[in-house]
Chains A and B, each alone.
Chain A
Amino acid sequence: MALAQHLPALQVILPLISAPLAILFRRAGPAFLIVTAAAWLSFAIAIALFLQVDASGLISYPMGNWQPPWGIEYRLDRLNSFMLVLVSGMAAVVLPYARGSIEREIPHESHYMFYAMLGLCLTGLLGIVITGDAFNLFVFLEVSSLSTYVLIAMGRDRRALTAAYQYLIMGSIGATFIVIGIGFLYLMTGTLNLADMVPRVAVIESSRPGLAALAFISVGVSLKVALFPLHQWLPNAYTYAPSSVSAFLAATATKVALYALIRFYFTVFGDSFVFGKLPLPEFMLILSLFAMLFANAIAIFQDNLKRLFAYSSVGQIGYITLGLSFDSVHGVGASIMHLFNHGVAKGAIFLLIGGAVARMTTRQAAPPAPTFERIAGLSKAMPLTCFGVVLGGLSLIGVPGTAGFVSKWYLVLAAMEKGQWWLVGAILVSSLLAVAYVWRFVEAAYFRAPPAGRETGKEAPFALLIPGWLLILATLWFGLDTSFTAGAALDAAQQLVHSGN
């Protein structure tokens, strides 16, 4: 029983310890085993915590037994216990994949470093989600960001360095803004504990420092979210990072930042203030629409598949922020669902594309970019990979039977509840844009003749195919059985929307 009490701490500590251990061994094999074990254990812990919250409601865990609000509190509700499952689950799937895929992408001697960084990145993301302390949240944000910069820079393409640098600059600006915002909040309320802050913020939120705090945090977090037009770092980062990193980041990093946004808006400041008294919903609505329509349209014209799906991520983030701006149970619920559904589908797509790239890579040269030229006629050689990408794409479109449909349904329903028919139209038009870019892939992979000189006749390695397909099957599963995703998301939304204040 004693151990079970400490699950919230173990959730973060296990991956945290795995990173230095991996470095101590200095060898790829043990490093892989340690970090993978940590990721699987933390997935198991996340599920246990999710069930616990499901059964008993809130969990509050005082770190080092220092009682809140003085000590750091880990605080679990419906929202973040759900997020923990997503983040740790993705890590559990991506790690076994990484072993096969970084063979060709990263020099062997730095493999142990890669695993250590992935472990740290996981630590940071889980920490952001689980902590109930504002400054602790910032620290974990930095942990995850710094390790992400390293992971992206490890890509063998030299442009990975500039991509990482670009992200470093943007990410640091974001982090600075966030810490300034948190500083203002601390200044005005005298506390860093988020739950403790809530009643105190309610008093000062209309004051100038209160508004400044909100503004700084909004911009800072939006940078990490890649909310249009602060998304410039994302396409390069996803395109040039190693495949496993692209998949992991696409599925988790922006999602965790969105979680932070939801936490600050709905819990700390309270939605009745943020969305009721400030002109933020209109602002968010417009940016979301730009993301949905512009980024999705830009995606259609990309030549590199990874870049295409990176822009598609920016567009899909637009759906999520649009749902938030509705400030209704169905709207926020749709957003939380879509965090999960999109994360799984997009992660799967990046994993599968990575598998195809691995098959085209030789040991001497850098991995080739998956351009449409190169993937022409790929379905003959890699039927499973291509079919998987198509299924993942159907989820991005929101075809019934896939997870994407479920979130789209609630998003459209939320728009109708607001009586905003033009938004219904905008949502559906943007999903038609998704049809366009997914079908570019279909036509290239299934209709065009393979380019001369490509190695043909071989499916992607099974070690890379299985994790991708696992997530594709999850996408289909959550498209039919929604009790986990929709259930948790709507519950969480219920807790968040018009809760206090």
Chain B
Amino acid sequence: MDSLILASLVLPVFGAAGILLAGRWPNLRESVTIVTAVATFACVVQLVEPVLAGSQPGVRLFELFSGLPVAFRVEPLGMIFALVASGLWIVSSIYSIGYMRGNGEHDQTRFYVCFALSIAAALGIAFSANLLTLFLFYEILTLITYPLVTHSRTEKAKRGGRVYLAILMGTSMLFLLPAIIYTWHVAGTTDFRVGGILPATLTPGALTALLALYMFGIGKAALMPFHRWLPAAMVAPTPVSALLHAVAVVKAGVFSVVKVVAYVFGAGVLAGQTGWLIAVAAFTILAASIVALRADNFKRRLAYSTVSQLSYIVLAAVVLTPLSTVGAALHIVSHALGKITLFFTAGAIYTAAHQTEISQFDGIGRRMPWTMTAFTIGSLSIIGIPPFVGFVSKWYILSGALSAGMLQVAAVFLLSTLLNAAYLLPIVHRAFFREPVHDDHHGEHGEAPPFMVIAVCLTAAGTLAVALFPDVLVGLAQRIVSGGGV
């Protein structure tokens, strides 16, 4: 069991080394990526059964500070995140091949190396047994994705990279690090435990301050006003946007939020203390949706949609009912599958038609039927329409909010669902029901390269498949609240 945990962390690193060595032979290099991704996923999947059965395998590596080790423990929430990250790595690798070759990108070896290392960092976050380990991999993830975000090395990429780094490192250093050290100072441990680790002696003021440090310190969760790095990171190639928005980065953020709320604070300590945070999250959901509504740039609209969807998870976590926590965990999966489909579409359109603005998408669905059908499915899932997975997670979150009697939270979710539909469905309408504008500038184009179409269809099918067979994921999510054998 221990070896499986370590293997899933080390495999991507070895994969990165292999990619570097095979850099001169693109076909071999991409094979290394795919093989590593599949092997890593296989390792992660084998952990599911024991975790589902209630055990929590763990590994302790070494002590960084006395009494404070770098250690891993696989609990249900981390299991879900690890499944998402390693599973989507396979799909996005397939997609990357189509995108990077289709667009003739430079420095592809560096791209695949950094991508593999990002996955290793994401799995490190997923399996971390304490805050210190989580912080270690959290910062590594920021740094290793920086070369990906700034892949094009243009002036625009440099500026986007600055915002990306400044916000993510600024928040994690100024807020998250002192929060962790303070937790260590008052609690004498930073382990994740069901029910929390903070001593009961903490005053409500200190508790609120600490919660604020954590919530704004985890900048990857993009709580307003620290959300600007996500739109800034749009300069990245689309597979990187997929990595940021679906596979690893923002998911690492909301995962950390749920983990801190559930395992550092605990529902008991936080009860009645989270009103302001619910307000901030609700504001983020609505404000980001409205910005998305007004954006014409496709990736920008998707980026603000992500900001809004992330706050779903934050909000669900701080509602503090068991049902909403299950919903938060499930929404990590459903948003990942839905949003990766949408971003894959954006890249496919860019590669095939060289279009980036929504107003240029008239009739594009007739030329790219597969891609745009997948987009429609992804949109429906994000909006939360059955039988797609977005519906399942929203159902849990709403039930949780209602069981706690939080009608205003339920209202925010319903309103936001309408906004989701308002900024996604017009794209579908435009793509399928408007006449294509003939454009001399861009010649006739057809479907995107096959690698990309396969990937986007796979993820769209995933939104359906997970919704139809949710047992494993729901089982894992319910383990979070029912508690494993801690």
Contacts and interface: CB of A to CB of B under 8 A. Distances in A.
A413 B185 contact: yes
B458 interface: no
B195 interface: no
A191 to B, nearest CB: 38
B174 A481 contact: no
A226 to B, nearest CB: 26
B170 interface: yes
Nearest to B166: A435
Given A401-B140, A447-B150, A424 B62 contact: no
B169 A435 contact: yes
Contact of B70 (A416, A428, A480): A480
Contact of A486 (B65, B132, B158, B162): B65
A429 B174 contact: yes
A416 B182 contact: yes
Interface string B112-143: 00000000000000000000100110011001
Contact of A432 (B174, B178, B184): B174
B114 to A, nearest CB: 13
B185 A428 contact: no
Contacts of B65: 406, 409-410, 482, 486
Contacts of B143: 394, 399
A348 B153 CA distance: 27
A374 to B, nearest CB: 19
B182 A406 contact: no
Contacts of B174: 425, 428-429, 432
A357 to B, nearest CB: 24
A428 B64 contact: no
Contacts of B157: 447
Nearest to B209: A421
Contacts of B169: 432, 435
B139 A400 contact: yes
Interface in B136-192: 136, 139-140, 143, 150, 153, 157-158, 162, 165-166, 169-170, 173-174, 177-178, 181-182, 184-185
Contact of A439 (B64, B140, B165, B184): B165
B177 A428 contact: yes
Q: SS class of chain A's interface: helix, strand, loop or mixed?
A: helix
Interface string A431-462: 11001000100010011000000000000000
B173 A400 contact: no
Nearest to A483: B63
A236 to B, nearest CB: 31
A428 B178 contact: yes
Contacts of A432: 169-170, 173-174
B457 to A, nearest CB: 36
Contacts of B178: 412, 416, 424, 428
Given A443-B158, A480-B70, A400 B181 contact: no
Contact of B64 (A406, A431, A446, A447): A406
A417 interface: yes
A413 B184 contact: yes
A447 B153 contact: yes
A480 B64 contact: yes
A481 B62 contact: yes
Contacts of A428: 173-174, 177-178
Contacts of B63: 482-483
A401 B165 contact: no
Nearest to B138: A400
Contact of B62 (A410, A435, A439, A480): A480
Interface in A459-501: 480-483, 486, 490
Interface string A416-430: 110000001100110
Nearest to A447: B158
Contacts of B185: 413, 416-417
A273 B421 CA distance: 71
A347 B390 CA distance: 53
Contacts of B62: 480-481
Contacts of B140: 400-401
A416 B66 CA distance: 18
Contact of B165 (A435, A446, A480): A435
A481 B70 CA distance: 10
Given A432-B170, A482-B65, A413 B150 contact: no
A400 B182 contact: no
Nearest to B150: A447
Interface in B218-271: none
A250 B158 CA distance: 31
Given A480-B62, A482-B65, A409 B181 contact: yes
B220 to A, nearest CB: 15
Nearest to B62: A481
Given A417-B185, A480-B70, A401 B136 contact: yes
Contacts of A416: 178, 181-182, 185
A189 to B, nearest CB: 38
A431 B139 CA distance: 14
Interface in A274-302: none
B163 to A, nearest CB: 12
Contacts of A410: 65
B321 to A, nearest CB: 33
Interface string A31-50: 00000000000000000000
Interface string B338-370: 000000000000000000000000000000000
A447 B153 CA distance: 6
Interface in B27-76: 62-66, 70
B232 to A, nearest CB: 15
Contacts of A398: 173
Nearest to B170: A432
A117 to B, nearest CB: 40
A446 B158 CA distance: 10
Contact of A446 (B153, B170, B182): B153
A25 B242 CA distance: 66
Contacts of A417: 185
A428 B178 CA distance: 9
The 8 closest A-B pairs by CB, nearest first: A400-B136, A447-B158, A412-B181, A428-B174, A400-B139, A416-B185, A424-B178, A428-B173
Interface of A: 394, 398-401, 406, 409-410, 412-413, 416-417, 424-425, 428-429, 431-432, 435, 439, 443, 446-447, 480-483, 486, 490
Given A401-B136, A435-B170, A439-B165, 10 more contacts: A399-B143, A400-B132, A400-B135, A416-B185, A428-B173, A428-B174, A435-B165, A447-B158, A482-B64, A483-B63
10 contacts: A400-B132, A412-B177, A413-B181, A416-B182, A417-B185, A428-B177, A431-B173, A447-B150, A482-B64, A486-B66
